[in-house]
């Protein structure tokens, strides 16, 4: 048993940051720890801070999780998984979008409220490639697969720009700002939008 535990620790400690398909063994109820099975090879835990507030975990349910850390405990290795980390979104895009996996399109930033919404800023390293279109996919199929995996989390894919005022106006899409004024000293920006688009921008 000791040797078996050591094997599990050795295998999974090298795989922190990777995504696995897990099956819920035991739901934690409200605010409890969820126990997961990782393809029959090991058990993992999904503690409350790593659970999306909008998700409910039922025994037998399958979902993708990212290995956050593997630690030694007196009872053997404990594998901690996450559903809320921004890198889970990054890994799902790498799995779903070949252009990101191959390095043609790069994710420059992700902002996320787990379970609610996320914004992903992308940039094409190769001329003639539409980075947003590559991530969305034909008729939205690629982005829909990621949204389904995250149980309906809204994901906006926007084009990154090294010009900060352009980047900020992209980040507020679908609202269309009239102008963006940067204040570099305060690291803030004032954005002017048409009245009818105010709530959209917010």
Task: Indicate the pLDDT class of residue 32, thresholds 50, 70 and 90.
Answer: confident
36-93 pLDDT per residue, tens: 999 887 899 999 999 998 898 999 999 999 999 999 888 888 999 999 999 999 999 9
Asked if residue 174 has a cis previous peptide bond (ω within 30° of 0), the answer is yes
Per cent of the chain over pLDDT 90 is 80
CA dist list (Å): 9 to 46, 72, 158, 159: 17, 8, 39, 40
Closest Cα partner for 193 from 15, 181, 19?
A: 181
Classified as helix, coil or strand, 149 is: helix
Contacts with 142 (C-beta within 8 Å, 6 or more apart), sequence order: 96, 97, 134, 135, 136
134-175 pLDDT per residue, tens: 999 999 999 999 999 999 999 999 999 999 999 999 999 889
Length of the chain: 202
Q: Which tokens hold the place of 70?
A: 């593997």
């Amino acid at each position: 048993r000791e040797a078996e535990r050591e094997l599990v620790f050795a295998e999974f400690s090298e795989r922190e940051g990777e995504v696995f398909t897990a099956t819920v063994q035991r739901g934690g109820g409200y605010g409890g720890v969820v126990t997961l099975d990782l393809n029959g090879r090991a058990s993992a835990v999904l503690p409350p801070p790593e659970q999306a507030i909008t998700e409910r975990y039922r025994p037998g349910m399958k979902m993708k999780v990212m290995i956050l850390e593997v630690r030694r405990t007196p009872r053997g290795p404990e594998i901690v998984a996450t559903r809320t980390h921004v890198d889970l979104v990054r890994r799902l895009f790498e799995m779903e979008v070949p252009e990101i996996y191959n390095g043609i399109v790069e994710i420059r930033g992700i902002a996320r409220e787990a379970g609610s919404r996320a914004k992903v800023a992308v940039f094409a390293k190769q001329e003639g490639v539409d980075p947003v279109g590559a991530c969305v996919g034909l008729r939205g199929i690629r982005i829909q697969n990621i949204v389904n995996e995250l149980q309906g989390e809204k994901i906006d894919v926007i084009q990154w720009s090294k010009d900060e005022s352009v980047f900020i106006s992209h980040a507020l899409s679908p609202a269309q700002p009239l102008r963006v004024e940067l204040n570099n000293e305060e690291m803030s920006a004032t954005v002017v939008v048409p009245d009818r688009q105010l709530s959209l921008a917010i």
